Structure 1
Amino acid sequence: MTYSVAVSGASGYAGGEILRLLANHPDVEITTVTAHANAGDPLVRHQPHLRSLRHLELQPTTPELLSGHDIVFLALPHGQSGQYTDALEDVSLVVDAGADHRLTSEAAWSQFYGGDFHEPWTYGVPELLVSGGKQRANLVGATRIAAPGCNASTVSLSLAPGVAAGVIDPSDVVSVLAVGPSGAGKSLKPHLLGSEILGSANPYAVGGTHRHIPEIQQALRGAGAADPRISFTPVIVPMARGILATSTAPIAGDATDAEIRAAWETAYGDETFVQLLPAGEVPRTADVIGANTALMGLAIDRAANRVVVVTAVDNLAKGTAGAAIQSMNIALGLAETTALTVNGVAP
């Protein structure tokens, strides 16, 4: 069976990455691409790298135009997906790459986002540990999927094994992330101009204000944390793509080095897209660009009594579009790795 697909927000970074990956998917046909201000333009005017899709023209984003497809991907700014998802009841599978359906807490939504709260959908991080299993099981047969926030899924995947195994204390988590500006979207923002970020590192959303914090806490609760608390500091650095997340947490009780490392080895030893590096190695963002891979390095700092996890992902691939398509594959009963690669692009 070939599934017809519509992608909204197709002129943006997330929408473009969804299209790049879907273009090589043997089980889907991209029939419709939509945008707002760019409607009426050829897709390749805004995504010139997508040569196999040069025949497509951007259509206006309306519920009527999105309806009637087998699968709809929404790659819209936060707070804009809900107005469409309510009107897409006839669509068999809807995948939202925005935040509108990620959070289960209305209070957390009001605090960090504001506006109308929409029902939570199945969270699109298959490898995440939840209730003694993996989120993958919840994605089987799902009809509504909330793709993750790129920073949130990176930190959650980094720490969930330690939480589930009881070898770290999730009440004192510190995460500092170097992130590429593509995670902020394609809209013009003066502080993200090349002249502003080249040769500089710029922290933002400092002091517990970043919108991905409640998403991380929600994921860690699912892994078994009673009251996860996190100091979360993202820093824009001059690389187009990528996240390098350094997350630390206290060692719990008398957990041994072997027990700590075993927690991550057990969690990810059989996973294709989340890979724990050998002891003593840490990843680089350069090694995951274009790939649906999260590379993870684990260190045990006995002097500070903390576990240190360094994780690299491509924020547009594994962080957003890759996770969305991986989750789609699971929901539809397709091979999970279809149209996704573990291989990055170098140099």
Structure 2
Amino acid sequence: MAFSVAVAGASGYAGGELLRLLAEHPEFEIRTVTGHSSAGRPLIESQPHLRSLAGLTLQETTPEVLDGHDIVFFALPHGASGELTAQLRNVRLAVDCGADHRLRDAADWEAFYGGEHHEAWSYGVPELLVRAADGGVTRQREALVGADRIAAPGCNASTVALSLAPGIAAGVIEPGDLVSVLAVGPSGAGKAAKTHLLGAELMGTANPYAVGGTHRHIPEIIQSLRAAGAAAAPTLSFTPVLVPMSRGILATTTARIVPGTPAARVREAWESAYADEPFVHVLPEGVFPRTADTIGANTCLMGLAIDEAAGRVVIVAALDNLAKGTAGAAIQSANIALGLPETTGLSVNGVAP
């Protein structure tokens, strides 16, 4: 029998992507969708591309509406899901695609978000390397097995953490002086009307934002790198740039190579880390990813170069911020938690052209 599913925040971009992927999942049955100002309206008005779900009507986002489902996915702005999730009494699995349950440190939450800090849930990046207490390296997926509460990642945060974790875990890069510059599509900012996200403001230009260490995903990345085994506190310069593509992230991240480390060993750290991963692929030497090759897919494509003159490794990673960066990661993690094959309902194939 299929698991019953509710999606809170179904009228937004993340909610729409969740529904698009869930509609093709053989083990999940979408029974309830909720919205805020759109409550009472047909889902198809907000998500006209989801033709198979045309019979659904958006309901109010309340604990009473959401309770009683096997799985509830939350696609709400930060600060909106924490209070709701605390009131659920009869939900087997809750997956939050917002920020409310990602950060373990209340001080980090206060510094970057503000408001009430909620308990951190199991982090939904299965491929992330984690240093175990005995010094060995495991994967975050082990913490997801049997989980009943999962925090899906920030899209920028998972892209950069996946880019750097293999080097940290293998001890081939230094955790200080990490630099990441990202070209990102505006869908990551949500569907609400904002002047700087209008087409007239985005077309033909690239716009940096949250410059100078202010982006909210920074503590999430640092948290992941510490878990991967960073011996010293990581330092990260993180600069996102809005570019005129609706979806996608292209993150170019560099790190200092530990002196004396052969180039072959550096590359081997990434290749061995992701060799058996279904959704994270390291490309052949000299090949680098395009965002276009990840659109609609639950894949993160990664290329590496060794800049010997600068003594740095350059990692270029591409993914779809709404798919692998958010909804795909949420569903992939839910599969693991429920004992389903991890790849169920998820594709590695993008859409082209």
Query: 1:89 & 1:75 partners in 2: Cα distance?
Result: 19
Give the alignment partner of residue 299 of structure 2, picking from 293, 298, 312: 293
Give the alignment partner of residue 310 of structure 2, picking from 301, 304, 309: 304
Query: Which residue of structure 1 aligns with residue 197 of structure 2?
Result: 192
Unaligned 5+ runs, structure 1: none
CA deviation after TM superposition for structure 1 residue 89, in Å: 2.8
Query: Which residue of structure 1 aligns with residue 342 of structure 2?
Result: 336
Percent identity at matched positions?
71
Q: Secondary structure at the match of 1:158?
A: helix
CA RMSD of the aligned region, Å?
0.5
Q: Secondary structure at the match of 1:287?
A: helix
Matched to 2:69, the amino acid is H
Query: 2:306 & 2:270 partners in 1: Cα distance?
Result: 12
Query: Which residue of structure 1 aligns with residue 216 of structure 2?
Result: 211
Give the alignment partner of residue 171 of structure 1, picking from 148, 158, 176: 176
Query: 1:43 & 1:169 partners in 2: Cα distance?
Result: 48
Query: 1:282 & 1:221 partners in 2: Cα distance?
Result: 27
Query: 2:312 & 2:6 partners in 1: Cα distance?
Result: 46
Q: Secondary structure at the match of 2:118?
A: coil
**Structure 2 residue 154 is matched with structure 1 residue 149:** yes
Structure 1 runs of 4+ with >3 Å offset:
none
Query: 2:260 & 2:191 partners in 1: Cα distance?
Result: 47
Q: Secondary structure at the match of 1:145?
A: strand
Q: Secondary structure at the match of 2:31?
A: strand
The C-alpha deviation readout for 1:222-278, integer Å capped at 9, x for no partner, is 001131110000000000000000000000121101110110011000111000000
Q: Secondary structure at the match of 1:246?
A: strand
The C-alpha deviation readout for 1:47-97, integer Å capped at 9, x for no partner, is 000000000000000010000100000000011110101001321100000
The C-alpha deviation readout for 1:177-219, integer Å capped at 9, x for no partner, is 0000000000000100000000000000000000000000000
- Structure 1 length-normalised TM: 0.99
| Aligned pairs for 1:191-270 within 5 A | 191-225=196-230, 226-270=232-276
Unaligned 5+ runs, structure 2: 132-136
Query: 1:300 & 1:32 partners in 2: Cα distance?
Result: 49
Query: Which residue of structure 2 aligns with residue 117 of structure 1?
Result: 117
The number of aligned residues is 347
Query: 2:211 & 2:193 partners in 1: Cα distance?
Result: 22
- Structure 2 length-normalised TM: 0.98
Query: Which residue of structure 2 aligns with residue 180 of structure 1?
Result: 185
Query: 1:341 & 1:310 partners in 2: Cα distance?
Result: 22
Query: 2:43 & 2:284 partners in 1: Cα distance?
Result: 43
**Structure 2 residue 325 is matched with structure 1 residue 319:** yes
Matched to 2:138, the amino acid is G
Query: 1:299 & 1:49 partners in 2: Cα distance?
Result: 39
Give the alignment partner of residue 289 of structure 2, picking from 283, 287, 291: 283
CA deviation after TM superposition for structure 1 residue 315, in Å: 0.1
Matched to 1:335, the amino acid is P
Matched to 1:191, the amino acid is H
Query: 2:293 & 2:325 partners in 1: Cα distance?
Result: 14
| Aligned pairs for 1:11-50 within 5 A | 11-50=11-50
Query: Which residue of structure 2 aligns with residue 7 of structure 1?
Result: 7
The C-alpha deviation readout for 1:293-338, integer Å capped at 9, x for no partner, is 0000000000111000000000000000000000000000001101
